[in-house]
Amino acid sequence: MHDFLFALSLPPVARGLFAMAIAGLCFPASGVMVLRLNLVPMRYMLMHGVILGGAISLAFTLPVLPTSILLNVLLVLFMLLLKGDSSHGFGLASAAAMVFSMALASLVMHLWDVPAKDTLQLLWGSPFALSAIDIATLIAIAVVLLLYLVLNFRTISAMFFDQEIAQSLGMAVKLHHTLMALIIALVIAFAMKLLGALLIDALLILPVMVGSKRATSLKQLLWYSCLTGLFISTFGYLLAVATDLPPSAAIALLSALLYLIPTSRKKGKTV
């Protein structure tokens, strides 16, 4: 017990716990956007975009997180140019952007002699490696996400119900679809730094899937998803510290086990 408390008092561990709590509480809200807008293919593309950002940052000795965030934003804008109208999903445009990003990453690694193993380390994140700037970036992303949800909840709810009806009511469906895609890009870039590409769904998707078992409205889905994410991220992180396990693996395993627990859904339809 003394060793556990001592470990929590170490600055990298304490920063990691704070970051996991913030990410677990806020990031599942973007997972709701991913599932409701059918942006799962775009999620894979953004994960490849972070790998491209890692290759570029290593080649030119740039900070990884800002570079990855910038690359993801540019990839979303690139998809918008390919697709033209984002209100019905990105479809094949995300596949094209994914192939483009991986091809570019391969060229960067070859031309600038970037070791592939260094770039692929991004597949395994670590909350212990966060700096004060990373924490500030996380807080900024969380604030942007929450403010967007609060200020535009009516429009978001209408879009999740039926985008054509929302557009007929005069709502800026294309604009909000693009804004949500950009927010998801920010979240995925940071979530990969926390958990890595392979286990990113432990923060984004699985809490939403757990919350959807009980939710009967969009508000309930957001609340249940975010509270589930908070529990998974903090408890999983503490479990990892106590047992000397990788935090990403402990959090992903906990979220998967929680999803397997049978839960009776309340009567009603999730809006």
Can you give the CATH number for the domain in which 210 is found?
1.10.3470.10
86, part of any domain: yes
Question: Which range, 126-135, 232-241, 258-267, is most confident?
Answer: 232-241
Tokens 């991004």 -> residue? 122
| Maximum CA extent, the chain | 61
Q: How many Cβ atoms are within 10 Å of 138's Cβ, its own excluded?
A: 25
Q: How far apart are the C-alpha atoms of 177 and 183, rounded to whole Å? A: 10
Tell me, yes or no, whether 268 lies in a domain.
no
Tell me which DSSP letter residue 98 carries: H
Whether pLDDT at 23 is above 60: yes
Residue type, 105: A
Q: What is the pLDDT of residue 64?
A: 86
Rounded Cα distance between 235 and 250, Å, is 9
Is residue 269 in some structural domain?
no
Q: Domain total for the chain?
A: 1
- pLDDT band, very low/low/confident/very high, at 221 (cuts 50, 70, 90): very high
Report the share of the chain in percent with pLDDT over 90. Answer: 48
Structure-block tokens of residue 245:
């396990």
Asked whether residue 194 is assigned to any structural domain, the reply reads: yes
The domain of 15 spans 2-260
Q: CA 57 to CA 80: how far, in whole Å?
A: 25
Residue 179 three-state SS: helix
Residues whose CB falls within 8 Å of the CB of residue 161, separated by 6 or more in sequence, listed in order: 271
Q: What is the pTM of this model?
A: 0.87
